[in-house]
Amino acid sequence: MADITLTPRAAKRINEIMGSEPPGASLRISVNGGGCSGFSYAFDIERARAADDVAIERDGATVLVDPMSLEYMSGSTIDFVNDLIGQSFKIENPLATASCGCGTSFSL
């Protein structure tokens, strides 16, 4: 089981987004090389679950993470924030040693 936490705010927002998607659609979060700090998070709507995906579920919302990305996200909390910069998913990653101002890229 993944040690990734989904906050109630994130689950609520995911459910709102998935309301206009086909049944069974989920939010996929992956870690890619690149970004201003070395790695970046990608958020996609996924209609099919891969056999090795890890599913994080809360309040009817599902987030899929592939095994490779899971290594970089261990211990993370996925939240949804609505602040002066706008609305976005925010990942609090204890493995990240630095992150950029936009919060979508990080380094280890």
Range of the domain at 20: 5-97
Q: Indicate the pTM of the whole model.
A: 0.86
- The tally of domains found in the chain comes to 1
Among 72, 36, 67, 35, smallest CA distance to 54 is for: 67
Each residue's pLDDT tens digit, 73-83: 999 999 999 88
Residues 7-43 have pLDDT tens digits of 999 999 999 999 999 988 999 999 988 766 678 889 9
User: How many helices (H) and strands (E) in the chain?
Assistant: 2, 9
CATH code of 88's domain: 2.60.300.12
Domain assignment of residue 85, yes or no: yes
CA distance 80 to 85: 13
Does residue 102 lie within any of the structural domains? no
pLDDT above 60: residue 103: no
105 part of a folded domain: no
H/E stretch holding 108 reads none
